[in-house]
Chains A and B, each alone.
Chain A
Amino acid sequence: MTTHTFRLNGETVSVDVEDDVRILWVLRDVLGVTGPKYGCGINVCKACTSHINGKAFNPCAVPIGEIGADDEITTIEGLADTVPGDGLHPMQEAWLEYDVAQCGYCQPGQIMAAVALVDRVRAENRAITEDDLDSIRNVCRCGTYPRIREAIRAGAEHS
């Protein structure tokens, strides 16, 4: 086992675990951070989508040994703290406004993917297109896809 130190939701954490354990399990099984969900373990369903240094990634597909002390991981639990104020992130607010969630299992990953998508599109200085929304790979077995599309557009306006 090795001691791994990294930034998680604004705080520095250290954890003793083998280098090859994927970050998803370090978060969930070792640190008890359960917002990122398991849905496949092979970077397909995207239920575990979180951010690394502000960009979307899937912790089920990254060994803990791949990241260092300066890497900042943000999970759904830390998303609200990435924006000013005490409230939620505008994307979370949009999710509430459109009552997107049904069972809710995929929604932390959906929201984290949506925030990264909006950031990416904004960096390209353009508006979100249907193609952008089609590019989201996150599975929602409850079928909330049309509401996700609406909420992302609304969340983008307020982000």
Chain B
Amino acid sequence: MGKSLGPAGMPAPPNAGRPSTARTPSTAGTPKTGIGRRSFVGYVMGGTGLVVAADLALGAAPAQAAGLPIPSVPQIPEVYDLNDFLTHCALPTSGLIAIHVDELGDAHFALPRMEVGQGITTSTAMIIAEELDLPLDRVHVTLAPARRDLLFNQLTGGSNTTISTYTPIRVAAAVARKALLDAAAIQLGALVTTLTVKGGVISDLLGNVLPYGDAAALAAPATTRKVEVELKAESEHTIVGTPQRRVDARDAVTGRKQFAMDLDVPGALPTMVCRAPDLNGTAKEVRNQAAVAAMPGVTHVAIIPTGVAVRARTFGQCIDAVRALDVAWNAGTVPGRSSEDILKELRRAQLPLAVPKLGATTVEGEFVFHFRSGSALEPNCAVADVRADSATIWGGLKSPIVAQSEVARALKLPQGKVTVNVVQGGGSFGRKLFSDAAIEAAHASKAFGAPVKLMWHRADEPRQGRVHPMATSRIRATVLLGSVISFEQRHTSVSTDFTHGLGERLTAEVAALPTGLGNLGFSETVFLLSQELPYNFGVVTQLLNESNYDFDRFNTSSVRNIYSPDVRCANELIVDRLAARLKLDPVVFRLRYAKSGIVKRVLKRAAELGEWGRAMPAGTAQGIAIHKEYKGATAVLVEIDCRPETVNRKVRDAVTGPRVTKATVVVDCGLAINPLGIQAQMMGGFADGLAQALSYGNHLVDGHFLEASWDNSAYTRQWNSPFDFHCEVLDSDSPEPGGIGEAGVAASMAAVACAYARATGTMPTEFPINFRDPLHFEPKPFVPSIPESPVNGLDHVS
């Protein structure tokens, strides 16, 4: 059966998936200093060609939570956080990960995670190259298709990839190296201990050499063999910890990098969906199906659950057909509702604060965070080829096993009849945790009886795609006798959809959670596992409530960093107020109250690098903020220009407004695998935080979102970007890697908000800060649902 299959369909060895037996600590040393190595068990797989494997659960050592009471101080994430939970979930899986060394001596590895720009194919190749003593360009990392044997362990989220895969991948690579050396020792007639490896070539003391490729041919045993290996110490690393450029950079700059819509799947023709004017409206009837089906290039038209799908020779002809469709629609899920209605709901649902308001000793605020789109630049898309008794999907899917299951359910096929191939994604930002396009493509392919290449139109992305849930955050802090004695936060949010796999994990793993969390909903559990106020403020409570336990009403997702950007933005604005109340400099105040050394370290360094406190002209200011999550900490210092000549500068069809002119980010994210990749993620996280603070929001009006273009949704553009961006990755005291994909967002958003407050003298309480400005665009029509492509492009050549 499925669960006994190892990599590439090979039978799994008997002990696979049992970490208690697979991990055999030989010493109990402190890994931090590199002494006292642990040994690990892996497998050399029987058969032809060298394939080695290790348990994907290896080395996963999350904090032990079961039986712990909920501590009042410290907060839960300090002892057991979301990443511990995700890592814990990886433990019971039966799946193995395998490295194949080919006849040329190159290593191949199918990573059971998804690359969406975060750089994990590069960092994973580095980890393998390091342990295998092979040049980086001879390690080839691809993305594994959905593997049901991995159970929960194929979800790319929570910035958990490197945290959870670092050790197992190293073990697999070390097993490969050992197998190659063992084979070489026999071939060369030398002792294994006298052999050395350089650049994938094994040498003995006499100068005889055997390339990995030759050794690989000799290394494969007839039957699967269990071997024990030790891993390199950090001090021996020559690749891990060095800045490496992305392994796919050349493909990206030459146009060769392939995304889902670039694949040439035979017969898969362009397909688009005509969507309802209301959010989540559904099609009742197509009144002109025959006429549209007869349009140039059009091959098929059919109603699917999310609208009316059309298939044509080109996407351009799909656009024309979608625009020509005359459809009767059913109402959506929030007919007639607007942002203001949702805000009222949220306020009604706010949980009460426990500490009473005490006159001058109280510092408080209420903050509103509007919906914002999780659109990536690559729209939702997938290729589907549905046959009578099977289906194949190609798509950028961060949760491919869930996709496989949902596609199977949609098609009424057994899950084993659905093949899900994972393709690199053009960004994700929470969007690709879900398989919306894959399910749509499956429906369309089934309805048409033909393969489809389904892609969303941009206009549908902010209007009908997944959004970060709207939320309010109410904070009350109390200052007494020169100290902060209480800090309460009540975060109230539109329900977040966690049904992309994380939710299933929570259900399945309730027993793993710290006592008291098991009975909470997914969202509250995620909130409590991820939110940590990094200050000693006496009695601290942070609670989440949801206004409406119905995640089908809005299409939500965690959109890069779940709750943290909003929660921390609200926190840090109040922290600046508290500092002012106590007449302390914001950095001095934070250093005095910060709980952990790692936070103080990044904060001090950011203040130093960013020249905190330097004289700034009126209307401009610095702002600083910190964040602790993903086994690390981030500090961001920005300078903002809110002078009228800057705020009122004009760019066609754009939001200009205040400009962050300079940003300094300092991060300690544990063991840094690829400092260059970490800097890139911090830059990207900064762009996200900046947009969320100043300009990027969705307006819900009369049952639908108004934004329908990148010029409507004002995500960060060149004219909003800092002239000067600097990121420093600190050498960490931690021997284990942390998460980086989301770590830069929260402190960036908070720092920009704090800088804005200091430059203008007004603390912003609604985000993005331009939300109530007159719209900078004329909303596009809702019928037809997508705009016509212009024809005047030659008037704008430049």
Contact = CB atoms under 8 A, between A and B. Distances in A.
A43 B793 contact: yes
A34 B262 contact: yes
Given A29-B270, A34-B258, A101-B249, A40 B710 contact: yes
Given A99-B246, A99-B676, A141 B259 contact: no
Interface in B419-436: 424-427, 429
Given A105-B427, A141-B427, A75 B793 contact: no
A8 B250 CA distance: 22
Given A41-B457, A44-B711, A139-B377, A105 B314 contact: no
B796 A29 contact: no
A57 B790 contact: no
Given A116-B798, A145-B718, A18 B253 contact: no
Nearest to B250: A96
B307 interface: no
Contacts of A17: 313-314
A144 B794 contact: no
A78 B681 CA distance: 30
Interface bracket on B? 35 or more
Main secondary structure of the interface of B (DSSP, over half): loop
Interface string A17-37: 110111011101110101111
B254 interface: yes
Contacts of A106: 377, 426
A2 B784 CA distance: 28
Interface stretch (B114-122, B170-178, B478-486, B572-580): B114-122
Contacts of A55: 797-798
Contacts of B253: 76, 88, 92, 95-96, 100-101, 104, 107-108, 111
Contacts, number: 243
Interface in B103-118: 116-118
A60 to B, nearest CB: 6
Interface stretch (B197-205, B212-220, B277-285, B683-691): B683-691
Given A76-B254, A104-B252, A145-B687, A39 B710 contact: yes
A45 B150 CA distance: 38
A124 to B, nearest CB: 12
A62 B264 CA distance: 24
B375 interface: yes
A107 B252 contact: yes
Contact of B717 (A80, A102, A139, A146): A139
Contacts of A43: 789-790, 793, 796
Interface string B498-542: 000000000000000000000000000000000000000000000
A123 to B, nearest CB: 11
Interface string A97-141: 001111111111001000011001000000000100111111111
A32 B797 contact: no
Contacts of B262: 34
B315 interface: yes
Interface in B633-692: 651, 653, 676, 680, 683-688
A158 interface: no
Interface stretch (B59-67, B135-143, B721-729, B754-762): B721-729
Contacts of A148: 718
Contacts of B427: 102-103, 105, 141-142
A154 interface: no
Contacts of B790: 42-43, 60-61
Interface string B771-798: 0000000000000001101111110111
Nearest to A35: B255
Given A18-B297, A32-B264, A58-B796, A39 B718 contact: no
Contacts of B258: 34
A24 B316 contact: yes
28 contacts: A20-B320, A25-B314, A29-B314, A37-B377, A38-B261, A40-B709, A40-B710, A43-B789, A43-B793, A45-B710, A52-B797, A56-B797, A61-B790, A61-B791, A61-B792, A103-B425, A104-B252, A111-B253, A136-B718, A139-B717, A141-B377, A141-B429, A142-B684, A142-B687, A143-B685, A145-B687, A145-B718, A148-B718
Interface of A: 1, 17-18, 20-22, 24-26, 28-30, 32, 34-45, 47, 52-53, 55-63, 66-67, 75-77, 80, 88, 92, 95-96, 99-108, 111, 116-117, 120, 130, 133-149
- Top 4 nearest A-B pairs (CB, nearest first) are A143-B687, A35-B255, A103-B117, A105-B426
